[in-house]
Amino acid sequence: MVRAAYIHIPFCEHICHYCDFNKVFLKNQPVDQYINSLLLEIDRMMQLRSNSALKTIYIGGGTPTALTAEQLDVLLKGIKSIIDIGKLDEYTIEVNPDSIEEDKLLVLKTHGINRLSMGVQTFDEGLLKEIGRTHSARSIKDAVKRSREAGFTNISLDLMFGLPGQSPSDFKKSLLEAIQLDVDHISAYSLKVEEKTVFYNRQRKGKLTLPPEEDEIKMYEILRDDLKQAGFKQYEISNFAKPGFESKHNLVYWNNEEYFGFGAGSHGYVDGVRYQNHGPIPKYLKAIEEGAKPVLQEHVVSEIERIEEAMFMGLRKREGVNRKQFEKLYNRSLEEAFSEQIDMLVKRGLLCSTKDSIYLTEEGLLLSNEVFEQFIAVLSE
């Protein structure tokens, strides 16, 4: 049974230099038509899946709060008319510090949003400009303050490290600023230069200077050490929470569970099929208008793929992969599936194996991608 849904809002008032998500400039876009089509897609799917009892919804982007308060009201009121939000354990929306005014916060609160994920990235004014963000350090603090005053008790901040010209001490300062805001959850990701981004073009021209690998490792160590001291528990490679504030929606992904994906360019995983919706808004709108599924491509996930995904997604969690749960789901033990890989990684000091689970060691955290690669394309059908 599918218990989670991701809803995509592809509009941005400004495109950041590192972002490769499906998004478009807000100006002159058919925003109202998109909202109506999105609600139609959700309604059609939920009618087909009337037995689905959603527990988490995550509205991401793009920039959901690039919508006006009136547009947010239409969207959230529409969702409420289709889905019983009273049964949700977690209802998250991504917000930008410079586009989350009091009227929008009131709309979010009125319609049951109970978790805000705030895209901060850094508190360094120079770095904010370098990466193409439009907010300031001051606006971050104001946004958190306004959100608390509006009654939000679950606020997460997103940070980045390994940014152009960023030093470990620069990152430590930003992290301290985030901790001092007394938020409930912090996610921090290293910069990945993706194709079709401003940074990618700069890198190709030799105009992008990134920190050396040893500095990036130091930043990650600072992240883990400082957040632990501040009372945050690391529950996933890049995610830290105060007790009880772990992201329930993101755990769906890491537990390799199924979820709906709604909106242009969104991804979903339902009935053993991974799918991606049309990204270009006109194609998405046309499909909805014609009463068709707005799906660009589908992939039936084989049993072998499910097992391999369970490993490299599950090992992202600090608790790792539970032996009993794995065997219950896949009718084989971890050793029956991956004895050679587990033995090799344990000997290298990258995995720890106990009677209950396997999980990344401290060194394994730093070399996680190398660990994950060991579980891909190794099983036979």
Q: Please state the pTM of the whole predicted model.
A: 0.95
Residue-number span of the structural domain to which 192 is assigned: 4-254
**Confidence at residue 53, expressed as pLDDT on a 0 to 100 scale:** 87
Residue 269 belongs to a domain: no
Residue 322's DSSP bridge partners are 357
Burial letters 232-271, b for 16+ CB under 10 A, else e: bebbbbbbbbbeebbbbbbbbbbebebbbbbbbbbebbbe
Q: Which residue type is seen at 73?
A: D
Backbone angles phi, psi at 305, to 5 degrees: -65, -40
Backbone angles phi, psi at 166, to 5 degrees: -80, 135
Residue 8 belongs to a domain: yes
User: Are 79 and 221 found together in one domain?
Assistant: yes
Question: CA-to-CA distance for 276 and 284, rounded, in angstroms?
Answer: 11
Residue 157 belongs to a domain: yes
**Confidence at residue 8, expressed as pLDDT on a 0 to 100 scale:** 97
- CATH number for the domain harbouring residue 153: 3.80.30.20
The single-letter DSSP state of residue 211 is P
Residue 78 belongs to a domain: yes
User: Are 179 and 77 found together in one domain?
Assistant: yes
Residue 273 belongs to a domain: no
Please report, for the chain, how many H helices and E strands are present, in that order.
15, 17
Question: CA-to-CA distance for 338 and 327, rounded, in angstroms?
Answer: 12
Beta strand extents in the chain (DSSP E only): 4-9, 11-12, 24-25, 56-61, 90-95, 115-121, 155-161, 185-190, 233-236, 239-241, 260-262, 267-270, 273-277, 295-300, 321-322, 351-353, 357-360
Residue 302 belongs to a domain: no
User: Are 243 and 324 found together in one domain?
Assistant: no
Q: Are 226 and 173 in contact (CB under 8 A)?
A: no
Question: CA-to-CA distance for 147 and 132, rounded, in angstroms?
Answer: 24
Q: 195: how many CB neighbours lie within 10 A of its CB?
A: 8
User: Are 326 and 200 found together in one domain?
Assistant: no
**Confidence at residue 25, expressed as pLDDT on a 0 to 100 scale:** 67
Residues in the chain where the model's pLDDT stays below 70: 15, 20-23, 25, 51, 381
User: Are 250 and 357 found together in one domain?
Assistant: no
User: Are 19 and 163 found together in one domain?
Assistant: yes
**Confidence at residue 23, expressed as pLDDT on a 0 to 100 scale:** 63
- Alpha-carbon Rg for the chain in angstroms: 21
Last residue of a domain, one of 207, 239, 254: 254
User: Are 324 and 236 found together in one domain?
Assistant: no
Using alpha carbons, select from 83, 88, 90, 38 the residue that is nearest to residue 62. 38
Last residue of a domain, one of 212, 236, 254: 254
Residue 296 belongs to a domain: no
Overall number of domains in the chain: 2
**258 Cβ contact list (under 8 Å, min separation 6):** 2, 4, 269, 270, 271, 272
Backbone angles phi, psi at 30, to 5 degrees: -80, 65
> pLDDT by residue (tens digit) across 145-179?
999 999 999 999 999 999 999 999 999 999 999 99
Pairing, β 233-236 against β 239-241 = antiparallel
Place of tokens 């949700």: 88
